[in-house]
Structure 1
């Protein structure tokens, strides 16, 4: 697949995604950037580490500002997002893969939980009454 075709596919994926799927894309992007940052730490590549930790932080911050304060779950999740954001900062400042792994684990749990929510929502919308 050409790079241009791939870019068109990706743009279409984002433009046609549900809000739940967009959130899932954010989680996956955050995890991808954390993996690249860890590679930067392992290879002693400061720019790779710094750039990708900052990208991961921007995604966490986006997740934080888009949370609906009217839901009680927001009060439980927001401190965890804040914690992950601070741990990303610590991992960057201390060049510490262990701290990055901790943040990665938390975001993986969020992503996996959210993936299940999206799956169940799809089943309710499209598989009502049947075994999807």
Structure 2
């Protein structure tokens, strides 16, 4: 995907700290955490009728999803990458609909799709980050 999406998403999670020292695996975790945080904020803004703030939170979440799509490496596992790309695209489209329809259920749907991906990603530590086992 476009480099601008990844850079924008990176800037969004930069305020969380740890970005400068995070490895690529950690950066993806930060992006997912940032997206989930924006979903919570978007829902709260929606419930309170704060249209502009809701739209901004949803837009930032869509940018982060674009960054996640852009970070996919098709050489790693083409089938999985294609499925994740399609899922991230679907989530982005659902968020657009949530914003237009003012539908909190669609925000919940995206959150319920992204959370298990994030949780699984955290469990898959890169080999370099795993402690060495002495014989």
C-alpha displacement of 1:76: 1.8
Shift of 1:126: 3.8
CA distance in 2 between partners of 1:9 and 1:63 (Å)? 17
Q: What secondary structure sits across from 2:124 in the alignment? A: helix
The structure-2 alpha-carbon separation of the partners of 1:8 and 1:52, relative to structure 1 and needing over 3 Å to count, comes to closer
For 2:120, which of 106, 110, 113 is the aligned residue? 113
1-side partners of 2:62 and 2:74: how far apart? 20
Instruction: Write the distance in 1 (CA, Å) between the matches of 2:58 and 2:73.
Output: 25
- What's the offset of the Cα at 1:125? 4.0
Q: Which residue is equivalent to 1:19?
A: 24
Pair 1:63 & 2:72 matched? no
Cα distance change of structure 1 residues 103 and 75 upon mapping to structure 2, 3 Å threshold? same
> What are structure 2's unaligned runs of at least 5 residues?
1-13
Question: What is the CA–CA distance in structure 2 between the aligned matches of 1:21 and 1:102, rounded to whole Å?
Answer: 25
How does the TM-score come out when normalised to structure 1? 0.82
Structure 1 pair 125/66, CA: closer, same or farther in 2 (3 Å)? closer
Separation of aligned partners in 1, 2:129 and 2:62 = 33
The structure richer in helix per residue is 1
Q: Deviations over 1:33-87 (max 9, x none)?
A: 1100000111011011100000000000111112112232201211111110111
- Secondary structure in 2 aligned to 1:128? coil
The count of residues paired between Structure 1 and Structure 2 equals 119
| Larger-gyration structure (1/2) | 1
Q: Aligned pair 1:37/2:42, yes or no?
A: yes
1:128 to partner: Cα distance: 2.8
C-alpha RMSD over aligned residues? 2.0
